[in-house]
Amino acid sequence: VGHMAWYAESRTAFEREWFAGSAMTIERLMWRHWPAAAPLFMAEGPGVVRCAPLQVFWPDLVEGPLLPAIQSEAKRGADTQIPASVVLQSTDTPAVLGLALWRWDPVWPETCVVDVFCHRDYWSRATALLAALPLPTCRRHVAFADPTCPAKQDALQAAGFSRVAILPKRIPATRGGTDLIDVVQMEK
Protein backbone atom coordinates (compact mmCIF):
# COMPACT_ATOMS: atom_id res chain seq x y z
CA VAL A 1 0.00 0.00 0.00
CA GLY A 2 1.33 3.40 -0.88
CA HIS A 3 0.52 6.68 -2.49
CA MET A 4 1.76 8.86 -5.29
CA ALA A 5 2.33 12.59 -5.29
CA TRP A 6 3.05 14.76 -8.32
CA TYR A 7 4.41 18.31 -8.10
CA ALA A 8 4.69 20.74 -11.03
CA GLU A 9 8.04 22.05 -9.85
CA SER A 10 9.07 20.24 -6.66
CA ARG A 11 7.63 19.12 -3.36
CA THR A 12 9.63 21.80 -1.58
CA ALA A 13 8.30 24.57 -3.84
CA PHE A 14 4.71 23.33 -3.49
CA GLU A 15 4.88 23.09 0.30
CA ARG A 16 6.56 26.49 0.61
CA GLU A 17 3.65 28.12 -1.26
CA TRP A 18 0.84 25.92 0.13
CA PHE A 19 1.80 26.34 3.79
CA ALA A 20 2.82 30.02 3.44
CA GLY A 21 1.10 32.83 5.24
CA SER A 22 0.45 33.65 8.82
CA ALA A 23 -3.27 34.42 8.95
CA MET A 24 -5.36 31.50 10.17
CA THR A 25 -8.62 30.58 11.79
CA ILE A 26 -10.00 27.58 13.64
CA GLU A 27 -13.24 26.14 12.30
CA ARG A 28 -15.34 22.99 12.23
CA LEU A 29 -14.13 20.29 9.79
CA MET A 30 -16.08 20.64 6.52
CA TRP A 31 -16.21 19.09 3.06
CA ARG A 32 -13.92 21.75 1.60
CA HIS A 33 -11.16 20.55 3.94
CA TRP A 34 -11.15 17.07 2.40
CA PRO A 35 -8.77 17.81 -0.52
CA ALA A 36 -6.98 20.59 1.39
CA ALA A 37 -5.93 18.26 4.25
CA ALA A 38 -3.99 15.84 2.03
CA PRO A 39 -0.79 17.93 1.89
CA LEU A 40 -0.78 18.24 5.70
CA PHE A 41 -0.78 14.51 6.28
CA MET A 42 1.58 13.73 3.39
CA ALA A 43 4.16 16.32 4.46
CA GLU A 44 7.45 15.09 5.79
CA GLY A 45 8.12 16.07 9.34
CA PRO A 46 7.73 14.87 12.87
CA GLY A 47 5.07 12.45 13.91
CA VAL A 48 4.52 8.77 13.23
CA VAL A 49 1.19 8.76 15.10
CA ARG A 50 -0.52 11.40 12.98
CA CYS A 51 -4.16 10.70 13.90
CA ALA A 52 -4.78 7.58 15.96
CA PRO A 53 -8.61 7.81 15.96
CA LEU A 54 -8.54 7.77 12.15
CA GLN A 55 -5.73 5.18 12.06
CA VAL A 56 -3.40 7.53 10.18
CA PHE A 57 0.26 6.77 10.77
CA TRP A 58 3.34 8.05 8.89
CA PRO A 59 3.06 10.47 5.98
CA ASP A 60 -0.01 9.19 4.14
CA LEU A 61 -3.13 10.13 2.22
CA VAL A 62 -6.19 10.82 4.34
CA GLU A 63 -8.83 10.73 1.62
CA GLY A 64 -10.37 7.52 2.96
CA PRO A 65 -9.86 7.98 6.71
CA LEU A 66 -11.08 11.59 6.70
CA LEU A 67 -14.37 10.88 4.89
CA PRO A 68 -16.23 9.41 7.92
CA ALA A 69 -15.00 12.30 10.08
CA ILE A 70 -16.32 14.86 7.58
CA GLN A 71 -19.64 13.04 7.21
CA SER A 72 -20.00 12.82 10.99
CA GLU A 73 -19.14 16.49 11.41
CA ALA A 74 -21.67 17.53 8.76
CA LYS A 75 -24.37 15.62 10.64
CA ARG A 76 -23.25 17.04 13.99
CA GLY A 77 -23.42 20.57 12.54
CA ALA A 78 -26.88 19.99 11.07
CA ASP A 79 -28.05 18.68 14.45
CA THR A 80 -26.43 21.70 16.17
CA GLN A 81 -24.14 19.45 18.23
CA ILE A 82 -20.73 20.59 19.42
CA PRO A 83 -17.89 19.89 16.97
CA ALA A 84 -15.96 16.64 17.26
CA SER A 85 -13.39 17.79 14.65
CA VAL A 86 -11.81 21.20 14.11
CA VAL A 87 -9.13 22.41 11.72
CA LEU A 88 -6.53 25.14 11.75
CA GLN A 89 -7.26 26.76 8.40
CA SER A 90 -4.98 29.19 6.59
CA THR A 91 -6.81 32.28 5.40
CA ASP A 92 -3.98 33.08 2.97
CA THR A 93 -4.05 29.74 1.10
CA PRO A 94 -6.48 26.78 0.97
CA ALA A 95 -4.16 24.81 3.30
CA VAL A 96 -5.31 22.92 6.34
CA LEU A 97 -2.50 23.55 8.83
CA GLY A 98 -3.75 21.31 11.64
CA LEU A 99 -6.53 18.98 12.76
CA ALA A 100 -7.87 18.13 16.21
CA LEU A 101 -10.63 15.61 16.79
CA TRP A 102 -12.09 13.10 19.18
CA ARG A 103 -13.85 9.77 18.69
CA TRP A 104 -15.38 7.32 21.13
CA ASP A 105 -13.01 4.44 21.82
CA PRO A 106 -14.36 1.34 20.05
CA VAL A 107 -13.19 -0.93 22.89
CA TRP A 108 -13.39 0.87 26.25
CA PRO A 109 -16.65 2.37 27.53
CA GLU A 110 -16.72 5.98 28.71
CA THR A 111 -13.42 6.59 26.88
CA CYS A 112 -12.81 9.29 24.31
CA VAL A 113 -9.73 9.18 22.05
CA VAL A 114 -8.41 12.67 21.29
CA ASP A 115 -5.77 13.65 18.77
CA VAL A 116 -4.08 16.68 17.25
CA PHE A 117 -1.73 16.95 14.30
CA CYS A 118 -0.19 20.08 12.80
CA HIS A 119 2.19 20.97 10.00
CA ARG A 120 5.73 21.21 11.35
CA ASP A 121 5.66 25.03 11.10
CA TYR A 122 2.36 25.40 13.01
CA TRP A 123 2.74 23.26 16.15
CA SER A 124 2.77 26.48 18.16
CA ARG A 125 -0.97 26.71 17.38
CA ALA A 126 -1.80 23.15 18.52
CA THR A 127 -2.73 24.25 22.04
CA ALA A 128 -5.27 26.74 20.67
CA LEU A 129 -6.58 24.09 18.28
CA LEU A 130 -7.13 21.65 21.17
CA ALA A 131 -8.72 24.40 23.26
CA ALA A 132 -11.24 25.00 20.44
CA LEU A 133 -12.29 21.34 20.48
CA PRO A 134 -15.06 20.78 23.03
CA LEU A 135 -14.60 17.35 24.61
CA PRO A 136 -17.51 15.23 25.80
CA THR A 137 -17.94 14.48 29.48
CA CYS A 138 -16.74 10.94 30.12
CA ARG A 139 -14.59 8.85 32.44
CA ARG A 140 -11.35 9.39 30.53
CA HIS A 141 -9.86 11.14 27.54
CA VAL A 142 -6.95 9.27 25.95
CA ALA A 143 -4.34 10.44 23.44
CA PHE A 144 -1.34 8.83 21.77
CA ALA A 145 1.96 10.36 20.67
CA ASP A 146 5.44 9.21 19.75
CA PRO A 147 8.93 10.44 20.55
CA THR A 148 9.51 11.78 17.02
CA CYS A 149 7.12 14.69 17.72
CA PRO A 150 7.71 16.23 21.15
CA ALA A 151 5.55 19.23 20.12
CA LYS A 152 2.49 16.96 20.10
CA GLN A 153 3.20 15.78 23.64
CA ASP A 154 3.74 19.40 24.73
CA ALA A 155 0.39 20.47 23.23
CA LEU A 156 -1.43 17.58 24.88
CA GLN A 157 0.20 18.37 28.24
CA ALA A 158 -0.84 22.02 27.88
CA ALA A 159 -4.40 20.73 27.31
CA GLY A 160 -4.30 18.82 30.60
CA PHE A 161 -3.12 15.39 29.47
CA SER A 162 -0.46 13.48 31.42
CA ARG A 163 1.68 10.52 30.46
CA VAL A 164 0.24 7.31 31.86
CA ALA A 165 2.08 4.63 29.89
CA ILE A 166 4.79 3.90 27.40
CA LEU A 167 3.82 1.22 24.90
CA PRO A 168 7.26 -0.16 24.02
CA LYS A 169 8.27 -0.82 20.42
CA ARG A 170 4.67 -0.35 19.24
CA ILE A 171 4.97 0.92 15.67
CA PRO A 172 7.59 1.02 12.90
CA ALA A 173 9.36 4.37 12.61
CA THR A 174 8.65 4.31 8.86
CA ARG A 175 5.99 2.59 6.78
CA GLY A 176 7.17 -0.96 6.19
CA GLY A 177 10.24 -0.39 8.36
CA THR A 178 11.61 -2.78 10.93
CA ASP A 179 12.86 -0.27 13.52
CA LEU A 180 10.08 -0.02 16.09
CA ILE A 181 9.48 3.04 18.26
CA ASP A 182 7.56 3.52 21.49
CA VAL A 183 4.13 5.11 21.70
CA VAL A 184 3.22 7.35 24.63
CA GLN A 185 -0.28 7.00 26.06
CA MET A 186 -1.61 10.16 27.69
CA GLU A 187 -4.83 10.70 29.62
CA LYS A 188 -6.86 13.38 31.31
What is the predicted pLDDT for the residue at 2? 66
pLDDT of residue 21: 83
Whether residue 23 is predicted with pLDDT greater than 90 in this model: the reply is yes
pLDDT at 5: 81
Of 136, 143, 76, 82, the C-alpha closest to 110 is 136
pLDDT at 66: 97
Q: Shortest CA distance to 134 belongs to which of 57, 50, 47, 26?
A: 26
> Which pLDDT tens digit goes with each residue over 98-118?
999 999 999 999 999 999 999
Rounded to a whole number, what is the distance in angstroms from the first to the last CA of the chain? Answer: 35
H-helix or E-strand containing 187? strand 180-187
- pLDDT number for residue 1: 58
Buried b (16+ CB within 10 A) or exposed e, 148-177: ebebbbebbbebebeeeeeeeebbeeeeee
Rounded to whole angstroms, how far apart are CA atoms 19 and 38? Answer: 12
Burial of 25 (0-12, 13-18, 19+ CB in 10 A): exposed
Do the beta carbons of residue 96 and residue 36 sit within 8 Å?
yes
Mean pLDDT of the chain: 95
73-100 in b/e form (b: 16+ CB < 10 A) is beebeeeeeebbbbbbbbeebebbbbbb
129 neighbors 114 (Cβ within 8 angstroms): no
pLDDT of residue 3: 72
Task: Check pLDDT > 80 for residue 41.
Answer: yes
How confident is the model at residue 4, as a pLDDT?
77
pTM: 0.95
Percent of the chain with pLDDT over 70: 99
